[in-house]
Structure formats: C-alpha cells, structure tokens
Amino acid sequence: MWEAIASNRRKSALLILLMGLVLAVLGAVIGVVLVTRAATGGDVAAGALTGLAAAFLVWIVMWLTAYAGGDGILLAAAGAREIQREDAPMLWNVVEEMTIASGLGKMPRVFLVEDPAPNAFAVGRKPETAAVAVTSGLLQRLTRDELQGVVAHEIGHVRNLDIRFMTYASVMVGSIVMISDVFLRSMFYGGGRRRTSSREGGQAQAVMMLIAVLAAILAPIFAYLLYFACSRRREYLADASAARFTRYPPGLASALEKISGLVGAGVRGQERPSRVLAPMYIINPMKAMGASGPFSTHPPTEKRIAILRGMAGGAGFADYEAAFRKVAGGACIGSRTLAADERVSVREPAAEPESKKAGKEQLREVTDLLSRLGNLLLIPCACGMRIKIPPGFEQTTIGCPRCGRTHEIPTAGAAGTGEGGPGEAAQAKPLRYKRKGGEWESFQCTCGNNVQLSPRFSGTHVRCPKCNATIEVC
C-alpha cells in the first residue's frame, strides 16, 4: 500500500504548503496595516516583510514546541492519562497484538481519556514515540473484536505516518488561528482608532484595515478546510490496514456502527472537543460538523461501514479495493500494491460473553480504573457496592450507602501495631500495610493520601507520592 500512502503524503505536503502560503499572506497584510497605523506614508514593503517575518517566527516557535513535545500537548488537551498492562489487560493485549500484526518495531504507549463517548485517536511524530488513546466509553461498550478493529485502525495511522503530517498540519493551523485572534482582539480593543493627517491617507488606511480584518477572519476558515482535507483520505487507508491486521473486517465495521450511533445520539462527554484533535479521532466527536462536505474531517461513516461489510471474500488489500470501488467508486490502493498483495482469509469471530453479568463486569472494571487514576480509595462491600473514598478523608470508618454496613478505612499503621489510623504516634514509627490479596488494593497513608497497589506489585516497600514516607508492605 506504499503507493497510496506516498501519493497521500505528496497531497498532504501540498496542502501544508498552501497553509504556509495562507500564513504568509496573513502576516504580510497585518504587517502593512501596523505600519500604516503607526504613521502616514509608512514603508509598505517594510511592513509586509516585518509581518511575514513575525508570522514565520510564530510558526517556528510552535513547530519547535510540537517537535519537542507536541504529542504530550495533544494528549493533555484531550485529558489523556497513560496506563499500564495491569490497568487494562485486554486493551494492552490488543495493542500488543496489533503492533505485532502491523510490523511496528515498538509498541505505542497506551492512554485513557475519561469520556463516556466511545472514540480513539493516535498521536506521535514518529512510530517510535507514538501513542494510542481510547476513551473510557470505548472500553465500556466494545467487544474484544470491535476494540481490536479500532486499535488496528489507529495503529494503521501510525504505520502510514499519518500522525506526523497531522501534527505538522495542526501546528500550521494553530499558528494561523493565533495570529488572527491576536490581531482581531487588538482591533476590537481600540488599537485601530488613530487619526491621520490627510483624507487620502485615512481612506487608504481604512481600506487596508478592512482587508486585514477580512484576511484575519477568512484565513482560519481556509486553513481548517485544508486541514480537514488532509485527514479524509487517510481514514480509508487506515480502515484497509485495520482489516488486514485483524483479519476480521466486521469487527471494525461493528465498532464504527456503535461509535457513530452513540455520537449521533448525543452521547458526548467533552462539551467542547478540540477542533485540532477532531480529525485525529476515528469518528469526529463534534456532531455539529456534519458527516460530509468541505467541513467534514472524515469520509461518510456509512460508506466506511459498507466497504468493510462488503469484504466478505477476504481481508486483504485487494478485497478492500474491490469493496471500495463498488461503494465509493474510483481507486483507493495502488496497482503495484494490489499486484503484490497476498490472499488473506477472514478469521472466525472471537468468542464473546453475551450475558448481562459480563457487560456489568466490563463496566465495573473501567469504572474502577477511572477511580484509581483519580486516586480514589475503593472499598468493596458484600452487597456489590464499591465505596469510593477521596484523599484526605478524616474518618476511620464509613457506612455503605446501599446496605448500611460499616467498613474500616484501610490505612498504613505503625510497624508492630497492625493497621492504624493517621496521627502523630503512627508517623513517629515506621509504617506498615498488610496486604489482603493479589488484586488491586488501595489504602490511606498517615498524611491522608491514598496509595494504590497493583496486582503486579511484588516489592516489600512503597513510597507515598505525597509525603514520600516509606511504607512496608507485607
């Protein structure tokens, strides 16, 4: 599929160059306005060059920031938190499997976004530093085959180097939006009300001001159109990659049906999802953007599902191309890739538990994971309730709100006294916590902070992240 990927890169590079042209024109126009505002008869050419240089400087600063830590910025903007194998074993195993199937040399880092709307995205300047992020809603609602399809799609973006181009494009859009916003705000707060010594000079200044304001309004819109165009073609190629990696196209098709159905029904946890991040999600989380047209970040989901459902004969690139031609028309994958493509048969679906009990267990596991990431202390009650205790809880016991049972708050006590509550006497001696089993456990340090112990913890001591106290675990 290298032909289609290479063609897509060339088109994306052209789109990014067009964004650069928009940035240059915007900077030059604003520079001219600033010169004419400063004094009548100012050097227009010097102003244009100054504005162009300033715009280029903004772009360089933002590009260097993205190059050094753009992945972290995008993940932080989405509220993503990194997780490990013990946090979500099924998700971790799926990412591991798809890394091997795709031939990536290194497994991407895994992140979780607390959001009830099911979705996922990938970021990374290069495959070696890539990360895959999924929402809590995705883990709660998808089966293993569906989750595998979504993860394979995102790893397809990593494999095809889509995430690199999207990161660069997002930097360009961010530069244009920032410059436009600063200029318009300066106009709004009275920076443009200056008198001139001649009527002609005042008219010329007004014309240039009008041109600059229009440029500042239209430039971000045009930049977004180019940015969205960068992402649409990539989705089909990532779907084709996912079908081949998983050898089960119905898994991704079913996941897209669930995700689009819930997003369309208004299941959205983030009130204002980032416009820059929207093209990176497997399905646009911004319902208001629509499903097709110039402002669409993705191709119509119905077409993507129909293509995947139409791959009944196999899971290879040739099968995807045949289904694509039938549904969307035209070509998607290069002829050389198709000529060298090997036959890939569709595997049988994985056995999935269908009981309501299994669904509730999956929901509980994700809820517990979010509680641990929020550093809440979990106390399971015999009635099935899981009591959540925030850090700094000062009581030594708590009653179950469902059945009324009283539970002691597990704490690290002074060594030689068993488990005890917080206090000066306990702090004066070494601390000890007696583990109750091999599952996830949480307890309270004497400083009031909650400490989490994973099933993989096998040490004899742990440090409190807040007060740095050493606690013996036995």
Flag the least confident range among 3-17, 44-58, 298-312, 420-434: 420-434
What pLDDT sits at residue 352?
A: 72
Which of the residues are catalytic?
154
Domain segments of the chain as ranges: 1-361, 375-473
Q: Are strands 109-113 and 131-135 parallel, antiparallel or unpaired?
A: parallel
| CB distance 225 to 295 below 8 Å | yes
Distance of alpha carbon 3 from alpha carbon 341, whole angstroms: 13
Measured CA distances, 39 to 42, 55, 191 (Å)? 6, 22, 13
Query: Stretch 209-217: mean pLDDT, rounded?
Result: 76
In this model, does residue 316 exceed pLDDT 90? yes
What is the chain's mean pLDDT, rounded?
81
In this model, does residue 192 exceed pLDDT 60? no
Give the DSSP H/E element, type plus range, for residue 168.
helix 162-186
Flag the least confident range among 101-105, 174-178, 346-350: 174-178
What pLDDT sits at residue 279?
A: 72
Distance of alpha carbon 121 from alpha carbon 358, whole angstroms: 26
Q: For residue 422, what pLDDT band results from cuts at 50, 70 and 90?
A: very low
Distance of alpha carbon 99 from alpha carbon 247, whole angstroms: 14
| CB distance 46 to 167 below 8 Å | no
CA end-to-end distance (rounded Å), the chain: 55
**How is residue 215 annotated by DSSP?**
H
